[in-house]
Amino acid sequence: MTGAGAAETFDPLRPRLIRVAYRMLGSIADAEDVVQDTFLRWLATDRAAVREPEAFLRRVVTRLCLDQLKSARARREHYVGEWLPEPIVEDAPIEDVTLPLLIALDRLSPLERAAFLLHDVFGLGFDEVAQSIDRDPAACRQLATRARDHVRAERPRYPVEKTHGLELAAAFFSASRSGDMEGLQAMLAQDVAVYSDGGGKRPAGIKPIRGIVDVMKLQRSLARFYAGGPSVLVGYGFVNGLPGFITREADAMLQTTALLLDEGRILAMYVMRNPDKLTHLEGARTH
């Protein structure tokens, strides 16, 4: 098979492989690098001997991701403030791995994360999971079970209806930027929390802010700031499966806000401000 033939087999699988890598790593750039490295290895492989290219390539991606996760955990120890995964903004909700679940997965060991994602999210049997992470099927089953116990509370419970989710995101944006604190408070759950990631490069909370009293103090402070430096809406969409929006802030930098809903109220807000995690959204337009 020529290089062109290798690409002909690989390119249709690339989006699925990036999806696997992103859910493993939480970084779009790292996922794309892993998949490109996988393609280079595919070029050097005796492809005529590979009976199932997708399964083979998924195993390569998984093993490369496991290597990346080991170094990522070391880097994370020095990360400034709260860590959130890079935002993917789409025009419809996804239900397999939402933002809270991605955060929960980050607390697992690399092998637990791989076993859970490959089996519970991508639907692979434990025999194939075993080949992907170089463990026997029984060990993979145990890894997935442990992971499932840790992330159970973060699995999506109720699908977010698209129109309702975007309507609530629009109402939140309007109230928070116009200073309508009464309207804003009516949208929030009593135990609401705010998580923000500035990566040490833009102002953001070092720790989550929890409870409606402290969250409203923050919102009133931000409302005064927005009055002097307008926040410009780029568009609405679903940020890692949660309704939200992209804005351009007074410092001319992008920001994403994602809203976790529970029984019609906002249970959590996830705000990405780290510019390194937002470059892929430059020029983005959502619905």
What CATH number is attached to the domain comprising 101?
1.10.10.10
Q: How many CA atoms lie within 13 A of 2 on its CB side?
A: 2
Q: Is residue 58 part of a domain?
A: yes
Instruction: Output the pLDDT for position 74.
Output: 64
pTM of the predicted model as reported, rounded to 2 decimal places: 0.88
Amino acid letter, residue 53: P
End-to-end Cα distance, the chain: 43
* Beta pairing partners, 54: none
Q: Are 147 and 113 in contact (CB under 8 A)?
A: yes
CATH number at residue 266: 3.10.450.50
And the tokens for 49?
Answer: 């001997």
CA–CA dist 240, 88 (Å, integer): 5
Considering the domain architecture, whether residues 274 and 180 belong to the same structural domain is answered as yes
The total domain count for the chain is: 3
Q: What is the number of other CB atoms lying within 10 angstroms of the CB of residue 49?
A: 7
Beta-bridged to residue 206, according to DSSP, are: none
Residues 200 and 273 in one domain: yes
DSSP state at residue 29: H
Rounded-to-integer distance, Cα 111 and Cα 19, Å: 18
Return per-residue pLDDT of the chain as tens, 287 residues.
Answer: 556 788 899 999 999 999 999 999 999 989 999 999 999 999 999 988 999 999 999 999 999 999 988 777 667 777 888 899 999 999 887 767 788 888 888 889 999 999 999 999 999 999 999 999 999 999 999 999 999 988 886 766 666 788 889 999 999 999 999 999 999 999 999 999 999 999 999 999 889 999 999 999 999 999 988 888 788 999 999 999 999 999 999 889 999 999 999 888 999 999 999 999 999 998 765 44
- 170 shares a domain with 263: yes
Contact 143, 105 (CB under 8 A): no
- Say what the pLDDT of residue 89 is: 93
Dump the DSSP string for 174-211.
Answer: HHHHHT-HHHHHHHEEEEEEEEEE-TTTS---SS-EES
The reply to whether 228 falls in a domain is yes
pLDDT of residue 287: 46
pLDDT in tens, 30-45: 999 999 999 999 999 9
Q: Which of 125, 119, 127 is nearest to 148 (CA)?
A: 119
Last residue of a domain, one of 20, 51, 78: 78
Report which of 231, 196, 193 is spatially closest to residue 212, judged by C-alpha positions.
Answer: 193
The answer to whether residues 144 and 166 belong to one domain is: no
Count the neighbouring beta carbons within 10 Å of the beta carbon of residue 242: 26
Same-domain check for residues 180 and 277: yes
Q: Which domain holds residue 250?
A: 162-281
Q: Does 244 lie in the same domain as 194?
A: yes
d(CA 181, CA 187): 10
Across the beta sheet with 209-210, the strand order is 89-90, 232-239, 242-248, 254-262, 265-272, 188-197, 209-210
